[in-house]
Structure formats: structure tokens, C-alpha cells
Structure 1
């Protein structure tokens, strides 16, 4: 590299790395694609029509438009208010740091600078991997296939240190399995990224207001299918194939545009916490839908949302199960109320409320409970009484085994809330949540790729996490994530050599 471009001194992260007795695995590096190069691959798969579909998907993945077809920047403030046009992400890539901009676009340069970052091995998430989901159904699969093929070829010579994810569409299990098998068996890719949900039409509305006649209704009359619960499709064949092929699953699933994240003026309002909320919905769907019970070998990395929410949900799954398991929920069954005792207590203590009138035993329970006692067409029965039935929860340890074991939580380098993942005094059964180090370099929150590892070590020096936590965060948990899905994941890589040397 030209001396003018070299860093003048050892980076802070290099200095930290020099003191460590373990490798560092970065689970989340975002890279850019050089448009002419990727479009050549796309053209081979579908000609100019597919190239145009890619361009539209890249331009419209986050953009929201009015009924008149104008995006946010083309609308006046009044039009945004009238149409409730979402303020989408903007200026999301590094630019002033031009060396880093080039690094995220040129694989050889990224491989050369990995030491400056302090990482031994990085899993790459090319930004364009997320784009095909926005394409029409006729373009979605060929776009995924072309983009995955491009990345497999582009990074193959750096496989000992870098590996790109394969983007997998999830609109149907059949489509997902086809692209999974092509990515793994044909291209040799070994990590996948999936959307955490797919928007589908609400059929009762779509039947009344067909999309062709009422596109403005169809745009909003949707629900999100999270693949694990309440889906119109059976995704078990896909999860089975994932486990069979030994593939770690990742997602960068957000919730911008959901209720509470619909500002028409402020991107940050929509952004803060949105990855955590999106991933939480996806993970809960897999848990409550019994996916993690049926597929204990499934390993899912939920990226960019931090790790504290993994601890939060785990804790509240436990306390809610303790109060509302199929036996405990009977504490709230109106049928178990002692009406005579209730009436006698009203007669003794409720004169101010009853104004001296006789207590009506037929309506007393309803009048005391309010909406909870309103008559229903029927009371819930059988499995309807047990929200934890599909998850197969019989004891607290089952929740641990089907939440803590299956899920890994990508936390960015400077995220102080990662401490919650390692707080075994708070987490039920004294466990630590699987936080995995995810630098997120390549996005706006990391203006300098040489800083993240040092920022994570800063948390040790500030007493936020311990040195042992840091080791688990940057090596132990990531290594576990990939190798529990596929014991041979690191064969032929620098990590395998370093682990072998440490063992020796």
C-alpha cells in the first residue's frame, strides 16, 4: 500500500490484540459492491431486465413513496404529512474516511488491513445481499443466486480469513430451500442471512380490496410472517435442511415503519432500538412456535440489536411462564371464584359502593373484574390455555435450553448494554447470554475500522465487563456459534491454526 495511505502508528486495536491470548472473530462486517462488477454477474443470470430489477431494489429497499410515486425527498412537508411518508435511512455509509470506504469495496485491501482492525477472521455481510427481497417475485430468486455467486467468487481467495454470507429469500419454504442448497452445495458458502419476517397481505382485506384495483389499501393491509408461529406456511422443512447442512443462520431484521417507528421527519426516531425489536419478534416466533424445541441444533445469530434484549426476553419468558403456565393460569380462571365468599365480603366491606342495595350474585364477578369477565362465545380449552405448549416448556430449564442455547446476539463494539448478557446474577439459572462481537464496520456507526476492538476493551477498563467476558464476547461465543452449527466451519482457516496452536 502507498505509504501515504498507511496508518502512521499501530492502531489502538492492534495494541489491544497484541496482549490477547486468543483469536478475535468478527461476526458482522459490512462491505460494498462495485456496481459494474456485480451487474456483470446479474446480467449473466437474467440479462438487462434483471440488472434493472437490482437497481430498482437497491433504490427502493428503504424508500417510501406516496400514491403519486414521489419518494420522501421529492415531497413537500405537507405531502409527507398527508401521506405519512416514512423518513428512511440516509447517509448510511462511511465517506469522509476514504481509505475505509475503499477498504469495504476492495477485498484485497480489506484482507490486508484486517490486522489494523485486530480481527483474525471476519464474516462479511455485503450490503447488496439484502436488496433482492425488495424485488418482484419473478426476480427474487435469480437475483439472490447471482449476488451470492458474485460474492462467493469475489472472496474465495481470502477464505482463510474472510467469508461472505449468502442471502436467502424466505417468501416460501420451497424457495428458501432451493437457494440454500445452491448457496451451500454449489457455491460453497457456509453462513446465511435471512429476513426475520415477510410481509403478507391480510386475506380478508385483500379479497375485498384486490391489489390491482386498490394498491393504496394493499400497501398497508399486511401482517408480518415470522416463520415460526401463525404462519400460512410450514417452514420446518427449511429449518431441517439448515440443520442438515450445518449452516449458522443470521439476520439483520429491523422494525422501521412499525408502530412506534413511523416518524415522517426523523430517521433516528425510527432507528433507535429497531433491530432489537425486529429480531425479538423473530426469535419469539421461533421459541413459541416450537422451532427451537424441534431443532435443538439450530443456531441463529440476531445481529445489530445488541445483546441486552436477549437477556431481557429470557428473564421475562421465565417469570411469565411461572405465572401463566398451564397449571398456574388457573389462578385467573373466573370459574374458580368463590361467589358466596365474594358476596359476603361485599356485604361486609362494600356498603359505600353498593349504596345498601342487595348484592347481585349473578353479575357480581363480572362487575368486579370488568373487561376480564366479559362473556365470550366460549372459554379457552385444552391447548388454548397453554401459550408455552408448542415450545414444550415443562420447567425453567426448558426455557434456558430453547432460548439461550439456540440464539446468539450480535452486539456492537461500544455497546455498554452488553453487560446485561454477562450478568449471571440477574439472568435466571445463573446463565450468561451468548453475546457475539459484531463490529458493524462499513456502516455509519463505525467511522474508523481500527477502533471497534479497542472500544470493546475500553468496557473492560471501565469495569462494564470483565476480561473473561471480553474473551467470550470476541472469541468464545462466536466460535461456539459457528462450530455448534458446523464443527468443520473453521477448517482451513487461520482460526483453526490458532486454536490448534493454543491447544498445543
Structure 2
């Protein structure tokens, strides 16, 4: 049987691209590895950089260490075991299977490069699936080996297609030293120019480690590298600035306390990327990272932009109602006029308080223990972020954070709702299609999906250009002005840097 591989080249998306007159940049295209080829790289890394004990049989053993492998125990458990251990139902059936072309596109760079042009997409940042999982491997030697092999494999297979495709480097973040070592190798040796960090590291709560590994694996806290982190990650952020790379993240919140259904994967899936992104974003903000590194920007992939718009507004609101001066004036327990308060209780309390006014105490009810004075440093929770006025929040947020959004996510309208957003600004959403997964099987439909939001008046033509072109140009040239040099969007990037684009 002969299979016809010819296909139409003028897709609706390609026609839309011609109509737009500016490039489409997709910041989140997924691929998956060809296992035999990747295992060759892993064996090579293990043989040259690791201990013999780990190198021996690594190809057979590495899958046991993947985060997905630990979740797969759900499929082997009885329902009684799932209930006993509260094992979250993991992902299943996540690849496109009803069209061999779409499935092959996920794995073959040459085909992806070709179909990207059919789709009208000028340039894409590639997020290989293994690269998003590798930094979460628990065993340090295995984690470092898989990250190194993953980065080397993808640097090699995408090198010939760099005019339109660039893969991210997977950077483990368990310690700053580990992160810096892989970052330097990825940029200086492999020549990669885009990176992805995990949104968090799961760490055992020290007080529970004495109860054994099984308890310590469940009694964990989420380290997000900024606020309250175990380590000082400033040396890593400084290295990002030095090497001119923008940290992006594509991490999962699945399995966290409110995403731990034992029976329903969709319950666990909905909102989990946004949840993980928000945890990191708040940590970077309140931990002062955006204050100490004014040129460093961050991108959060696959969670959409609605949560970004919500968080931005929420930060402004919390400043208005919880800044230090407001608290001192309106919430300080020392402000209570006890005699006046007692008069109100006497006049209006009736039987509720009769004979018990001597037990009124401070009038703060069960919050009476908060009467004790706080240390000055404990009062101003915006201090580390360097915030002294609401405009600082605007600058720390809008100048640093970008939000990858899928082509059919109409909630992007919230990011671009300048009437509702504080100071009338856009929250910086851009196209992160998630192509290659179950929800976006066909890369040639992405531009058409996006443009339909203009046709339905969900966003404006001007918003669309920011979404598809200006925001990704802004992000990736922020540290590296040559990021798009030699690519299909080099001319537009030069015009942007010259100030010819908004």
C-alpha cells in the first residue's frame, strides 16, 4: 500500500499570516524524543560524566526515575490502595493519534520545520517533553545525566533548523550550583539560547524527615527560588543576565493538595499550570528578584494569561489595603479606643454580653494574641520587593513577567482589557500554542484559531500583533539583542530594536 504524503501548503493559517504582514512567533511548541536515539545520548553522557554505578544499565533504569514513572503507580494500584495513599490520577492518552502526520510532526524536526511554514508560523521555541520533566527527577546523578543528555540531543537535532526553531535547555534547580553548571554547559558548549527552569523543587519538611522516607516524601514544601527559599538563587539569576538568557518555566501543579483526585485526571489538570506559575511568580516578586535584577524577565508557559491579569490586580489591591502605612493607621491593635468600644458593647450588647463585659479583653476576639507589637521588618511585607508605592508593583510586574497562552484561550481578553487593568496597561500575554499535545494536535490550525478571536471581537487587531509578535520579540531580545539573528524574523527583530515597532 502506498501512502500519499502530499498535502496542501496554503492552509488557512498561512493565508492569515500573509494578511497580517508581520511574523508569528510561537513560544511553546512541544516535541517528543525518538527513544533509541535519545538513549544513545544518555549512555554517552553516563559513560563520560558519571559514576560507573549509575552508568551501568542506565538506559534500562532512567525511566524509573522520571516524575511520570512515579505517577504511573496509579495504574497498578487497586482502588483501596488509591484511597489509602490518595494517589492522584495521572495524565493518560496525551498524544494525537488519529492522524499519523500530526504524530510524526511531534518527533521529527525536519517535518516540524516544514509544517511550521505551512502553518504560517515564522519562528517557534520548542519545549521537548522530556526536557520539561528532567529537572524534576529526584535522584541527583540521574537528574543531571538526563538534563545533560536531553540538552545535547536537542541541540544536535534542531541545529539544522535554527532559522525557524530553537529548543530550550532544561536547567535543574535543586541547588544554585547545579543550575549554574548546566546553564553554562548549555549556553557555552551547546550554543542553546533559550532555557526552561522548573517552577519549583519539592523539598521535605525537616521536622518530618525523622519519620522515614515514606512520610518525608509526602510531608513536603514547595521551594520557588525566591521568597523563603532554602538557598540564595541570586548567583543563578546573575548568571542568566551574564549569559543573556531569559528564564522560562513550564511546570506542573498536578498532585498538589487541591489537585489530587484519585479518580479524575481532568480535575487534577484544570488550572494546574497556572497554579504552578503563580507560585513562582509571587515568589520572584515578593522575594525581590525583580527588584534586584531589573533587566531580567521571566515567562510562564501553558497557564494562560488570565491568572497573570488577576495576580497583577490582586497585588495592587493588597498594596492598597495592606501596605505598612495603611496597617499602622487602620489595623494596629494599639489604635483601639477601649473606653469608646466598651460604651458600644454596653449600649448595644444586651443579653449577649450582660454580666461578662469584664471579659471583653482587647475587643479583637480570638485575634487578641496579635495585640503584641510586631517587629518593623515583619510589618512591611512589600519591603523585600522594593515596593514603596503602587507604581513600583506595576513596574516590577509588567516589565518582568510574560504569559504563554494557547491560540484558542479567549481569556487572553482579560490580559488585554486595558479598561480593567490597573494603570490601563496590557498584561504581557503571547502565543504559546502547546502544539503537539492532546488539546492542540494540528499545528496548522493555530494562527486561524488565534485570528478568530479578532473576528469575534474578543481582542483587537492591535492586541493581536502584541500577542503574536511584539511581546515575544520584547522578551527574547531583552537580554540578547542577537536572539533572532539568522532566523526568519531577523528583519522584524531589527526593526523592533530600532524602535520602528510599538
Q: Tell whether the structures are fold-level matches, with TM greater than 0.5.
A: yes
User: Equivalents in 2 of 1:401, 1:24: separation in Å?
Assistant: 27
2:218 maps to 220
1:104 maps to 106
Q: How does 1:411-422 map to 2 (within 5 A)?
A: 411-422=405-416
1:85 alignment partner, one of 84, 87, 90: 87
2:58 is aligned with 1:50: yes
1:6 maps to 6
SS in 1 for 2:147: helix
In structure 2, runs of 5+ residues without a counterpart are: 48-55
Deviation at residue 352 of structure 1 after TM alignment: 3.8
Q: How does 1:155-174 map to 2 (within 5 A)?
A: 155-174=158-177
The answer on whether the counterparts of 1:63 and 1:88 sit within 8 Å (CA) in structure 2 is: no
The answer on whether the counterparts of 1:97 and 1:448 sit within 8 Å (CA) in structure 2 is: no
1:264 maps to 262
2:340 maps to 341
1:484 alignment partner, one of 474, 478, 485: 478
2:275 alignment partner, one of 265, 277, 287: 277
SS in 1 for 2:20: coil
User: Equivalents in 1 of 2:204, 2:127: separation in Å?
Assistant: 29
1:372 alignment partner, one of 367, 381, 389: 367
User: Equivalents in 2 of 1:501, 1:479: separation in Å?
Assistant: 10
User: Equivalents in 1 of 2:286, 2:351: separation in Å?
Assistant: 46
Q: How does 1:57-456 map to 2 (within 5 A)?
A: 57-58=65-66, 60-61=67-68, 63-64=70-71, 71-132=73-134, 133-206=136-209, 208-209=210-211, 214-330=212-328, 331-355=330-354, 357=355, 359-360=357-358, 363-366=359-362, 368-374=363-369, 378-456=372-450
User: Equivalents in 2 of 1:384, 1:478: separation in Å?
Assistant: 38
SS in 1 for 2:28: strand
The answer on whether the counterparts of 2:333 and 2:370 sit within 8 Å (CA) in structure 1 is: no
User: Equivalents in 2 of 1:53, 1:342: separation in Å?
Assistant: 69
User: Equivalents in 2 of 1:375, 1:120: separation in Å?
Assistant: 58
User: Equivalents in 2 of 1:445, 1:5: separation in Å?
Assistant: 24
SS in 1 for 2:268: helix
Which moved further from structure 2: 468-477 or 76-85? 76-85
User: Equivalents in 1 of 2:69, 2:390: separation in Å?
Assistant: 40
Which moved further from structure 2: 111-120 or 191-200? 111-120
Once superposed, what is the RMSD of the aligned Cα atoms? 1.9
Deviation at residue 130 of structure 1 after TM alignment: 2.4
Distance change >3 Å, CA 487–CA 8, structure 1 → 2: closer
Residues 58-101 of structure 1: per-residue CA shift (max 9 Å, x gap): 4x426436xxxxx1111222221122111001111112121011
Which moved further from structure 2: 458-467 or 214-223? 214-223
Residues 403-427 of structure 1: per-residue CA shift (max 9 Å, x gap): 1111100000000100000011111
Per the normalisation by structure 2, the TM-score is 0.93
SS in 1 for 2:411: helix
2:457 is aligned with 1:463: yes
User: Equivalents in 2 of 1:249, 1:392: separation in Å?
Assistant: 21
The answer on whether the counterparts of 2:299 and 2:402 sit within 8 Å (CA) in structure 1 is: yes
Per the normalisation by structure 1, the TM-score is 0.93
Deviation at residue 373 of structure 1 after TM alignment: 1.8
User: Equivalents in 2 of 1:49, 1:140: separation in Å?
Assistant: 15
Distance change >3 Å, CA 134–CA 501, structure 1 → 2: closer
2:52 maps to none
SS in 2 for 1:234: coil
Residues 294-334 of structure 1: per-residue CA shift (max 9 Å, x gap): 01111111000000111100101001111111111121111
Distance change >3 Å, CA 450–CA 326, structure 1 → 2: same
Distance change >3 Å, CA 53–CA 194, structure 1 → 2: farther
Distance change >3 Å, CA 174–CA 64, structure 1 → 2: same
1:68 maps to none
Deviation at residue 114 of structure 1 after TM alignment: 1.1
The answer on whether the counterparts of 2:416 and 2:426 sit within 8 Å (CA) in structure 1 is: yes
SS in 2 for 1:10: coil
User: Equivalents in 1 of 2:125, 2:24: separation in Å?
Assistant: 12
Distance change >3 Å, CA 485–CA 62, structure 1 → 2: farther
Deviation at residue 184 of structure 1 after TM alignment: 0.6
Distance change >3 Å, CA 84–CA 358, structure 1 → 2: closer
Residues 349-396 of structure 1: per-residue CA shift (max 9 Å, x gap): 2234323x3732xx4254x422222367x4321110011110011111
User: Equivalents in 1 of 2:170, 2:61: separation in Å?
Assistant: 16
Deviation at residue 499 of structure 1 after TM alignment: 4.6
User: Equivalents in 2 of 1:199, 1:498: separation in Å?
Assistant: 41
In structure 1, runs of 5+ residues without a counterpart are: 66-70
Distance change >3 Å, CA 86–CA 325, structure 1 → 2: same
